[in-house]
Chain A
Amino acid sequence: MNPKTANKVATAGIYALVSIVVIILIGILGNILVSGVPHLSWHFLSSQASSFQAGGGVRDQLFNSVYLLILTMIISIPIALGAAIYLSEYAGDNWFTNLIRTTIEILSSLPSIVVGLFGYLLFVVQFNFGFSILAGALALTFFNLPTLTSNFEQAIDGVSQAQRDAGLALGLSNWKTIRGIVLPAALPGILTGLILSAGRIFGEAAALIYTAGQSGSTIDYANWNPFSPTSFLNVMRPAETLAVHIWKVNTEGIIPDATIVSAATSALLIIVVIVFNFGARALGNHLYRKLTAAKAS
């Protein structure tokens, strides 16, 4: 084959494969949205799941997903931020920094089921939490830390060295410079990273099935006492999330409308992920513009 023919053949091949990928993508998104969205009714969002009849909703699962997300973020943000600050501001070029980076890489490469099983061993069994939101939030934190740390680190690294110099030259401590000057300037990147990882957490199931559990208890949304077992705020109660629900109804569930429930829940998850994705970018851009733009008047 002469080079010109080879060029044409290769180009055609690439275009063909790309087209197939695009078709698959459209197929996936289209399928989920078309089969799911029509079933996304207020009734579906606001009623309890049913265990063996058709017509159940995902109210508790939706709340649990959001609650777990919030708790996970509350636990993981300070740790990830601390680690990111250490890595970008304090870490020297030495064996210890290498060790940290290796450790974080290992954590990020662990399958989420392994992280979930560790959470199960430590919290559910060892600490005797039982299947609980707290155990789930901690497992999700472990799963989330590497991504969040590297997102934060990138955001912090993106702040110009000139800003750090300015703070240091005024006799401010490193810490004060980071807190007062670098972090505010890194805020757009930090928020973007946060939201992107929120999308990941929202859809995670493998780390949860043996930590937060696969079934929920009866929840009372009027009970604001977090120590009461029926309170929606109780962190020691077992909780099933949207993602776990999809898995559950498809593998062990016996409800007759499993496909419809799964399709609707999948659509809900995808919509949330899309909103997070675009939201992260839009918010990041907006904040970035706000921070750097010179106010005219």
Chain B
Amino acid sequence: MDNKEDLKKVVDQALAEQKVPHVKLKKIGAQKADVDKLTQPSKETRQEYWGKGLTYSAILLIIILVASIIGFIAVHGLATFTQNHVNVWHFLSSTDWDPGEGKNHVGALAMIVTSFAVTLLAAIVATPFAISVALFMTEYSSKKGSRFLQSVIELLVGIPSVVYGFLGLSIIVPFIRSVFGGTGFGILSATLVLFVMVLPTITSLTVDALKAVPNHYRQASAALGATHWQTIYKVVLRVATPRILTAVIFGMARAFGEALAVQMVIGNAVLMPYNLVSPAATLTSQLTSQMGNTVMGTLPNNALWSLALLLLIMALFFNFLVRLIGRKGQK
């Protein structure tokens, strides 16, 4: 378009083309706005109140629910300390667990230690496997292979925990018994069961973490002549570290809170663990096996609620950790 004349020609022609006969519309033609209606509430306004109200109450219900879970368990869990005057420090530091009427022997340390032991051990064993599988799925395998592993992992997540417990009971416990002697119940069996249970959780979250690493990092690293492993180790894993940590914490949270599978293989003896193959008890296993044997409002019962409160606090703590890492990762 060099000069104005050409432009004018084009535009004139276009303007000329505008003149088309137009069809008069009968029924639907434009209607002048009803100005009154514009400032009046209508059916839609009411629908909107209704919709907002309904969805809002669903939200409120959830908030009330969570608040009352925390509230109820806190009230019952604190009764040990307020009504039965058990010293909190004693509860956390003593291994003397024999809460009977009148006996304030409510030292939960053995269970706390066992819970942390199985959780940490399971996480330590599972993490290298989980990262390997995740790396295999994102960095090595073909699409087909990774889709296959993906669906296997989803399936593993779906297997009910009692089934894991049953497998532990029928395979792992006898195996440990034959190798180490003793009953076969204990921290080692629980660790192995939890290892299989948290593996899919950690793996699938790690896969997400690795997928979130932008591809240009990999390309840049490869362009510098790094080997595949160097790229993975120095670039991919490093960038994904915060999210992998989150994945591990999620796995630990699952392990810490798992009740039935652990209860089935750990032996349920409230003893300070001195090795990995003797019967022990975790917070969850103790709750599971004893809650039905105590009477509401008595010390033995209150002591169990204190264990439940401890579980709740740990769940909140894991949650907090995840958020903390998330916030740091954003910076």
Contacts and interface: CB of A to CB of B under 8 A. Distances in A.
Contact of B72 (A24, A121, A173): A121
A263 B165 CA distance: 11
Contacts of A202: 160
B76, B132, B284, B289 interface centre (most CB from chain A within 10 Å): B132
Interface stretch (B151-159, B176-184, B211-219): B151-159
B161 interface: yes
B51 interface: yes
Nearest to B148: A22
Contacts of B229: 3, 6-7, 10-11
Contacts of B47: 173, 175-176
B154 A277 contact: yes
A173 B63 CA distance: 27
Given A82-B59, A111-B256, A206-B259, A277 B196 contact: no
Contacts of A172: 44
Interface in B273-320: 284, 287-289, 291-292, 296, 305, 308, 311-312, 315-316, 318-319
A247 B259 CA distance: 11
A17, A117, A118 interface centre (most CB from chain B within 10 Å): A117
Interface stretch (B20-28, B80-88, B133-141): B133-141
A179 B51 CA distance: 9
Contacts of B56: 86, 90
Contacts of B160: 202-205, 243, 246, 269, 273
B187 interface: no
A235 interface: no
Given A114-B69, A121-B72, A178-B51, 12 more contacts: A3-B226, A10-B229, A11-B140, A20-B129, A31-B171, A85-B51, A104-B62, A117-B287, A196-B158, A246-B165, A266-B163, A269-B159
Interface of B: 43-45, 47-48, 50-52, 54-59, 61-63, 65-66, 68-69, 72-73, 76, 128-129, 132-133, 135-136, 140, 149, 151-152, 154-156, 158-163, 165-167, 169-171, 196, 199, 226-230, 232-233, 253, 256-260, 263-264, 284, 287-289, 291-292, 296, 305, 308, 311-312, 315-316, 318-319
B162 A11 contact: no
A18 B257 contact: no
Given A14-B140, A18-B133, A90-B52, A173 B62 contact: no
Given A31-B167, A90-B55, A209-B288, A109 B253 contact: yes
B259 A82 contact: no
A277 B57 contact: no
Contacts of B128: 17
A197 B258 CA distance: 18
A32 interface: yes
Q: How large is the interface on A (under 10, 10 to 19, 20 to 34, 35 or more residues)?
A: 35 or more
A190 to B, nearest CB: 15
Given A171-B44, A270-B163, A122 B291 contact: no
Contacts, number: 241
A135 B152 CA distance: 33
B32 to A, nearest CB: 16
Contacts of B161: 203, 205-206
B69 A25 contact: no
Contacts of A6: 227, 229-230
A142 B63 CA distance: 11
Nearest to B58: A82
Interface of A: 3-4, 6-7, 10-11, 13-15, 17-18, 20-22, 24-25, 28-29, 31-32, 78-83, 85-87, 89-90, 99-100, 103-107, 109-115, 117-118, 120-122, 125, 142, 145, 149, 171-176, 178-179, 196, 199-200, 202-206, 209-210, 214, 243-244, 246-247, 250-251, 259, 262-263, 266, 269-270, 273-274, 276-277
Given A106-B66, A122-B72, A32 B167 contact: yes
A7 B44 contact: no
Given A100-B62, A107-B66, A210 B319 contact: no
6 contacts: A7-B229, A82-B55, A90-B55, A113-B259, A113-B308, A176-B44
B291 A105 contact: no
Given A82-B55, A106-B319, A205-B161, A210 B292 contact: yes
Given A10-B233, A111-B256, A247-B260, A203 B163 contact: yes
B56 to A, nearest CB: 6
